[in-house]
Structure 1
């Protein structure tokens, strides 16, 4: 069985939004100590992570209360590498998103913006028309291959996040799709259950689509 890990490594020099993650060694292996123990200081939006509805909706569902039916199940990777900056509803339809309830956007980010250690001046994100189309189609999970789902021109009012969060759609950001082909898979994504919080790191795996027949 081929299992695809979508998570990006977490380290102090990584691509980040806000402060860089840092760590300290609390214990190190030595003649008098048998183990290593580290302590990390990271943001909830570090690395491959999930945004819960409460990120933009007061009183919305928090990351520890997300339904497993949203983050685990059949999913579709869409080839959107031709999109320059903003994924529209028409782009989603052309890429074959109809009928999917969990979608992941493979864009040029996976081999460009996502590979950098600093914020890129441009990237590909989901536009408001695309977000509304997903909601109208009953999509419950959407993933992008950059540190924000939002398209570059909308990072003031954040309309895509507002649309998706108000509809209860789970957002996965920083998903590495560089080695993933477009098509149907079985998604397993489980965010760290930070109680009452708006986001959390979320290891994410894609398994063969036929996995759905044995689970």
Structure 2
């Protein structure tokens, strides 16, 4: 092994690995309420079994496999620039070069880097269906304590909204009761000035533990501000409370979907277990 490989191996073995990904299941609110619902069904089972709740079949022999039906923006997923930016030659409003950047075109290196976890749990809304804004002052306050954001940092907004990601009817407050019934206020979301500040700092990947980077009542402005500049978003993260404000390395690897406006994937963070606040979380 080369010295560089040995050094990397030594660093990784001294890190806690934290899974920041939501569990996908049909009774979790893992898909946008007005889009393609998530489905996960048995295609082949070890033997044909007929029962009162339905049948499963052994179509190809004694093994098990299932099929998936899912929207590109299901569970923990990324938004590519083309999600909100039309193709450059389309003649549509807001069209531009970023509209040609799909999931398959985003380099993996853009989806990893030093994590800057910004606590936005104190941001709360009161108006039904409306997201309270995470403003640039919150980002500036974070910088006063933790240092200025740097190019290549991955900013992760910790709102605590993942506490609503529950099975069955209990999970309707995650998304459905915000965008469909309008019974509850929306999740905290960065406003355009906050996103523009991140872009000026050189940040090109931003994540959040809420259903969308955009506000529940108007997702378009902040998506356009970030994606049009070539940034990418990772949405529907979870367990950001297990990360320190600094000193973790974030990585998200999406499915490489041709022409994809987004894609689900697995988000993880590496944090040195030498930190006393992390040692007990080593997995």
Asked if the contact 1:63/1:199 (under 8 Å) is kept, the reply is yes
**1:110–1:178 contact (8 Å) kept in structure 2:** no
* Cα displacement (A) at 1:202: 1.9
CA–CA distance in structure 1, aligned partners of residues 142 and 216 of structure 2: 21
Aligned residue for 1:24?
Answer: 41
TM-score for the superposition, normalised by structure 1: 0.88
State whether structure 2 residue 171 is matched by structure 1 residue 117: yes
Moved more, 192-201 or 172-181: 172-181
Deviation at 1:161, TM superposition (A): 0.1
Partner of 1:39: 67
Q: Which residue of structure 1 lines up, in the alignment, with residue 159 of structure 2?
A: 107
Mapped to 2, the partners of 1:80 and 1:47 lie a distance apart of 21
Equivalent residue, structure 2, for 1:141: 205
1:208 equivalent to 2:236? Answer: no
Query: For 1:50-199, what aligned pairs fall within 5 Å after superposition?
Result: 50-57=78-85, 58=87, 59-84=99-124, 85-96=132-143, 98-100=148-150, 101-112=153-164, 114-115=165-166, 117-118=171-172, 119=175, 120=178, 121=184, 122-155=186-219, 158-184=220-246, 185-199=248-262
Report runs of 4+ in structure 1 exceeding 3 Å deviation.
Answer: none
TM-score (norm 2): 0.68
For 2:192 and 2:198, the matched residues in 1 are separated by 10
Aligned residue number for residue 5 of structure 1: 19
Q: CA deviation at 1:139?
A: 0.4
> Deviation at 1:178?
4.9
Task: Give CA deviations for 1:30-76 in whole Å, capped at 9, x if unaligned.
Answer: 38733211011000000000000111122331101112221122221
Gaps of 5+ in 1: 211-215
Which structure has the higher relative contact order (CA within 8 Å, separation 6+)?
Answer: 1
